[in-house]
Amino acid sequence: MKTSRIGRVTVWDRLGTLVLFLGAILWLIPLVWTVLISVRPPGETIVTGNIFFGSRITLENFEETFRIVDWRVGYGATLIFVFGVLAAQLVTITLAGFAFARLKFFGKRVLFTLILVQIMIPSAVLLVPNFSTIRALGLYDNRLGLMLPYFGSAFGTFLMRQAFRQVPLDLEDAARLDGCSWIGLLRHVYLPASIPTLVAFGLISITARWNEFLWPLMVTRSDENRPLAVLLAQVQRTNEVGALYGQTMAGVLIVIATLLILFIFFQRQFINSFVRSGLR
């Protein structure tokens, strides 16, 4: 009886592995197709030459996208945008999460509920009010104006609150007996225990800001302030007869290359950070 149970588990494990493998193949199809289209000769139809590579493999599409867009400027603006927002968010969500987890103050539950409500509000609803505020502050086409709406994160605050609540109170009591202030508690007790959660949130924030398109398009005008996702649209607007898919796919690969490489090299840390932080 025990042997048959083990056999059934083995079969289900294999079926699960097969399902995951098929899902991975389906996920890879768009990426593989993007690579194949990007290395086909520009202007060559799908029925010309080999169905996968066309008549030859060429980097002409990449050369043309570099002629159209200065990707170095885009990468610089994107890195400033992404990590500038992340640095501010790590400060705000840590302090807010600690306050809601361990401090006592009037209206704590009501305020936290209002913060959770913000998670359910679609970001598109806030575009016009945020744009009006940025214009009123004189921050249009400014990197600070680009980053300012993201300095706070309702999801990050909730995540850090849950992480801090899991820290045993005995550690806090012992630290207080040693004379730690609330800043000392945060630094020596709560933050070391919450590093996996911070890593998980950092990955989410970097991915979201790297792919941001609509807000940077609205609030910036010059290329030196526009991230990669916005500059990618310039590749599609340069052809009068329609989209050149080879150039577009080459631009897509240039934009996603950094995230793809980071995930390949740090996929173990990526997965472990979510598992240890309690994300599913």
> Encoding tokens for residue 97?
């999460």
- Mean pLDDT estimate for the chain: 84
Q: Is the pLDDT of residue 259 over 70?
A: yes
Q: Is the pLDDT of residue 59 over 60?
A: yes
What pLDDT score does 180 carry? 80
Q: Fill in the amino acid letter for 239.
A: N
For the stretch 205-242, pLDDT in tens is 998 999 899 999 999 988 889 999 998 888 776 555 55
What pLDDT score does 248 carry? 86
> Encoding tokens for residue 48?
């010309």
What pLDDT score does 278 carry? 52
For the stretch 122-177, pLDDT in tens is 888 889 999 999 999 999 999 999 999 999 899 999 989 988 888 888 888 888 88
| 22 neighbors 237 (Cβ within 8 angstroms) | no
Beta bridge partners of 54: 50
**Dist. CA 205–CA 224, nearest whole Å:** 22
User: Which of 27, 31, 36, 29 lies closest to 246 in space, CA to CA?
Assistant: 36
Higher pLDDT, 176 or 96: 96
| 62 neighbors 254 (Cβ within 8 angstroms) | yes
Average pLDDT over residues 258-278: 70
Burial class (CB in 10 A: 0-12, 13-18, 19+), 19: exposed
User: Which of 161, 132, 261, 247 lies closest to 206 in space, CA to CA?
Assistant: 261
What pLDDT score does 176 carry? 82
The SS3 assignment for 22 reads: helix
Residues sharing a CB contact under 8 Å with residue 253, sequence separation 6 or more, in sequence order: 34, 35, 38
Q: Phi, psi at residue 194, to the nearest 5°? A: -115, 10
Q: Is the pLDDT of residue 245 over 50?
A: yes
What pLDDT score does 1 carry? 42
> Encoding tokens for residue 30?
């768009």
**Largest Cα–Cα distance in the chain?**
77
What pLDDT score does 7 carry? 47
